[in-house]
Amino acid sequence: MRGEDMTQTTKVSLRGLYKIFGNDDKSVLPHVKAGMGKEELLTTHKHVLGLRDINVEMQSGEITVVMGLSGSGKSTLIRHLNRLIEPTDGEILVDGVDVMNLSTTDLRQMRQNKMSMVFQKFALLPHRTVLQNAAMALDIKGLPTEEQEQEAKNWLARVGLGGFENHYPAQLSGGMQQRVGIARALTSNSDIMLMDEAFSALDPLIRTDMQDLLLELQVELKKTIIFITHDLDEALKLADHLVILKDGAVVQQGEPQGILMNPTDPYIEDFVSDINRARVLRVRSVMQPLSEGQFAGDVQANDNLESLIAASGGDTALRYRVLDDTNKPVGTLDMRDLVKALVPRISSSEAGTRYH
């Protein structure tokens, strides 16, 4: 987690979650639990494996990023949280309540009050103004129009769209439309925001702006955000907790810096091998315990290594004292350790190619 909040509470739990697509998913579930893979299940039983034994704890106030390639199951997973997709087996707990046990009325209330969703394709109503789109959740709840509009105006201003309230979606750029989508989710005042490839349709520069906006808002709002992406750079930038899927199963999960430094699977090694490690790795991930001696200066634990390389001029003989968010000394960074961290481990697939 970016801050050192030790009072974490679990907001969403997925326990033993399976999803099999087909007419008789329950009957083939034992085969999957016994180890039958995706291809064999399709060939033998004409069913598609969506998710296999997902166990993830999503903490309150954190951004959990679920990433993987197309077909990995990430969008299937997020749609289980509000039961847009029904699981074949397993538990989905929100604030300790299994949503599988909710009545139709309770489920509707949970979707309206506890969760909001931001979509890849914006999902704005073209015949409604920006203000009306942003106020949709409050309109559904039946709040007075004046109250709806005031709340929507506040959030539109927060996402940089003050003055655009009376425009229509077609009059806005893609980035501006997605800002409306975020304002709509925030106007609903839900605890949990589900974001399914929310920035994938945007141009790179606009996408970076939207990521920065989300992180800026999150510092203050501390929402529980479940963010789906296929982009590792985006995942590493946004995630407090990173979950990587392949063929419907979790390959590795944890604090993203730890995954980058210690991938546990060849699939993950290949994923992280081409990452700009200097831009992504943080000082805290490569620092050593605090020690005495001469320091070239102080650096912040959450600074990236790229900024430290620039500050040091690339001098590998230097040592820095590392400070936390309160400017308390917490460690030491030797530039030689930084250089070692910039060299990724040779992935298993590369090693096989190199030595054969």
Contact residues for 294 (Cβ-Cβ < 8 A; gap 6+) = 319
Give pLDDT, residue 120: 75
170, 135 in Cβ contact below 8 A?
Answer: no
DSSP per residue, 292-319: -S--S-EEETTSBHHHHHHHHTT-TT-E
SS3 state at 216:
helix
Closest Cα partner for 19 from 68, 80, 81, 84?
80
pLDDT lower than 70: segments of the chain: 1-7, 344-356
Domain ranges across the chain? 60-82+101-114+190-272, 278-341
CB atoms within 10 A of CB 139: 16
Name 241's bridge partners.
Answer: 64
* Residue where the block lists tokens 């806005």: 172
Cβ burial, residue 222 (10 Å; 0-12/13-18/19+): middle
Residue 209 and residue 206: Cα distance in Å, rounded?
5
Specify the fold of 278-341. CBS domain Like (3.90.1280)
153, 138 in Cβ contact below 8 A?
Answer: no
Closest Cα partner for 338 from 351, 311, 347?
311
Specify the fold of 60-82+101-114+190-272. Rossmann fold (3.40.50)
Residue 312 and residue 276: Cα distance in Å, rounded?
19
- The helix (H) or strand (E) run that includes residue 252 is strand 249-254
pTM score of the predicted model:
0.84
Residues 213/218/221/223 CA torsion (nearest 10 deg) = 120
156, 134 in Cβ contact below 8 A?
Answer: yes
What is the Cα Rg of the chain in Å?
23
Q: What does the longest C-alpha to C-alpha distance in the chain come to?
A: 71
Give pLDDT, residue 112: 83
* Strand pairing category for 10-21 and 89-94: antiparallel
